[in-house]
Structure 1
Amino acid sequence: MIRLLIPLCLLWTITSSYAQQLAEATSEANATEIIALSQKKWQWMADRLVDSLDVLFHPEAVFVHMDGTLTREQELEVIRTGRIHYKHAEIFEVSVRFLSPTTAVLLNRIRLDAVVGGNEVTNPFMVTEVYVRENNHWKLGTLAFTRLLER
């Protein structure tokens, strides 16, 4: 019995170690993918590439701005018409945490240069982005701006 138990314990240890390494590698790869996707999103917003954003934004996405919230359609229209022109986002810090294999929260500390209502503005923000994985693609479910005190 002990002769059988020792190899089984060894096999379980090797298998669980491999599974943990695989999970960590997958998590790192997903984090890298989400960070790259977020950076593309900022560029698409600056370039007003609404078609690319339309694919990225989840159908039920919510966008939280300093003056209120917008639906996916409202955010796309704001970008399309230039009511808000996200000119440039300088990213100072970024982190990704996984709530599950299909839900990730990305935090960006940025300085955003934008044109809002015809006025050029620059604001420091902590931006929260929530991504959900559907049909093997990450979709942006929430984008929320929190204005920071000057640093």
Structure 2
Amino acid sequence: MVVHPGGLMSDVEKLLSALEEELWRANRDGDGPAYDRLLRRDALLVSRFGTAGKEQIVPLIEANHNPFVRSELSGQQVRLLSPDSALVTYRVDYTARTDQGDVDHAALATTVYSREDDAWRVVLHQQTPL
């Protein structure tokens, strides 16, 4: 997380860090409505599986076929790009439940947020497997 002189984070930085945690929680819980609320209509997600838009991601989260049973974020950094846009980067270590058993993964993640009507929403989320 961004640390400012005196060690204080802005309210926006705290909120965006909390939203990242909320998205991973929603992924673990199969909470499609949370993704529907937090992703912009034209959001794009990029991962080792390819690219997908909100219309593909929300049903996949709701189906929860390979749930994440653990996710740990570390090294979060928040960069405010403008009063209404921001970038969040971090490492995530997570475990996915598969038919073959639990599988551990690690990735570097970047999420771009846009604030519209006083709500922050995901524009882009990208993961690079480690």
TM-score of the superposed pair, with normalisation by structure 1: 0.74
How many residue pairs are counted as aligned between the two chains? 122
Aligned partners of 1:105 and 1:128 also within 8 Å: yes
**Large movers: runs of 4+ above 6 Å:** none
User: Could you list the runs of 5+ residues in structure 2 that have no partner in the other structure?
Assistant: 1-7
Kindly provide the CA deviation profile for residues 25-81 of structure 1, in whole angstroms up to 9, marking residues without a partner as x.
8x8110111111111111111111111221111000001110210111111121112
**Aligned amino acid, residue 85 of structure 2:** T
Match of 2:30 in 1: 48
Letter in 2 for 1:111: D
**Cα distance in 1, alignment partners of residues 16 and 45 from structure 2:** 18
- What per-residue deviation string (whole Å, max 9, x for no partner) do you get for residues 62-119 of structure 1? 0111021011111112111224423221112111001111111101211111135x34
CA-atom RMSD in angstroms:
1.7
Structure number having the greater helix percentage: 1
CA distance in 1, matches of 2:126, 2:58: 15
Alpha-carbon separation, structure 2, partners of 1:73 and 1:108 = 25
Q: Structure 2 counterpart of 1:100, which letter?
A: S
TM-score, normalization by structure 2: 0.85
> Which letter maps to 1:56?
L
Counting strand residues as a fraction of each chain, which structure ranks higher? 2
Aligned to 1:61: 43
Q: Give the counterpart of 1:35 among 5, 17, 34.
A: 17
2:129 corresponding residue in structure 1: 147
Q: Which has the larger radius of gyration?
A: 1
